Structure formats: structure tokens, C-alpha cells
Amino acid sequence: MAQTALITGASSGLGAEYARQLTARGDSVILVARDQQALDALTAELGAASPAVTVEVLSADLLNDDDLARVTERLTDRERPVDLLINNAGFGLPLAFERNEVEAETRHIRLHNEVPMRLTHAALQVMLERGHGHIANMASVAAFIPRSTYAAVKQWLVGFSRWANARYRKRGVTVTAVCPGYTHTNFHERLGLPPGEEGIPAWMWLDARQVVSESLRDIERGKSLSIPSFKYKVLAGIARIAPAGLAARVGERGR
């Protein structure tokens, strides 16, 4: 059955790939991001590929209270319910915490933790009434590796999602933490790293299409944790039992 999905950080990267795969199977999407031009381009692309699907655009800066309120209002619209919420918006910072601006770190925490918490809370109001819904929080395998504040915010998402899934699954609403490894998107470019200069071996990189397709299967199965690709499932398992010092040294690789 066709559903409606709201995707934050939808203008590029994994967010845009979620939009492509969801509309290709007949689902409607609500695209949320700051970049209106990129949203318009993606909307045109999706319309050309899947003309029968509804694409709604919400240009919003989720760190702006008024914009966040508009997205929250859309999630709580009982006349136009959202079946799937994908909390994908985020950004990275250099690992040298002591050299980063503390306000940038604060925005980092807000976008990765406060915003998904607020949007999840809003979505639950309608999903629990209907007895159906899925929520996906974009975490990372970094959640299992000491890696500055990026790992810390992702650890929170994993812990919150696992608890929420156990709490609400019996009422028809599932919550999944999606934990991809290094994935070819423009995420690293926004950190100022041209392709091939991230310091990560080629075999560790994933294709965005694989990450999205595998995670969508896990989301729909109601799993609390989705780690796309077998190799990252293994690496995450090793990271959980590795000595803290070794895990921290691994976490220093790349950016």
C-alpha cells in the first residue's frame, strides 16, 4: 500500500536517495531541507521518473524555531497523515573538538539529537492514534566507535531508537536507528574533503543505493537497529568488544 514519507535533509545524499527509492515504488514524499533550489531540482527529477507520485516541499532550516514548528505542524496534520518519518538531516565537524567553535558544536547536538527528538514526538501523536507508522533516525556505525562529538550524538540516536522501538512497537509504531558506514555522498565534500582524500580504504565505502534499500527493508520489518552491509555488521560487532584505546585509534581515521 502506498504511504507518505517525510524526509529531512532531503535535498542531497542519503535523503535524496530515500526520496528516489520511495517514489519509485509509488510512495508520496515530503521533502524537507534548507536549499530551495536543490529541492526544486530533486522535485523535478522525481516528477519525471514517477509522474503519478505526489511530491511536497517544505523549505526549512530545522535549527530555526519557526521553521521547525512548520515541520512539526505537518507531522501532526491528522487529515494528511505521515506514515514514515526519516530523520536524516545532519552535518559533520572536524574531529579536533578543542579547535571547533563551541556554537558549532551546540548546533551539531541540536540538529542530531534535539530536532529528531522533537520530530519523533510530533509524529508519534498521530501514528499512535492510527496504530501504524515507522520512524527512522539516521545514526552511524560511528555510534560504536569513540569519535569526538559525532559518535556521541549518534550513540544517543541509537539508544533513543532502541528504547522507543521497544516501547511503541506493540502499539504499531516502530523506530529504527540506521547506522551506515562510509557512504559515497556529498557529506564528506561539505567537510572540505575532495573524493579520495578522506583517508579511508576503498573497500570500506558503500553505495548510497545499497544503504537505502537495505535500511528500508529493516525499517519495514520493525528492527530497532539497521546496519547496512555485512562487512559493517561485522565491524560494528568487533568495535563493541574492542579495547577502548584501540577503538579510539580507529576512530581517528578519516573525518
Q: Which residue has the cell 515530503?
A: 30
Write the CB contacts of 143 (distance below 8 Å, at least 6 apart in sequence): 151, 154, 155, 157, 158, 177, 179
> Is 168 designated active site?
no
CB atoms within 10 A of CB 43: 17
Which of 18, 150, 168, 182 does the annotation list as catalytic?
Answer: 150
CA 243 vs CA 156, 200, 204, 210: distances in Å:
21, 21, 21, 30
Q: How far apart are CA 215 and CA 226, in angstroms?
A: 6
- Annotated catalytic residues are 150
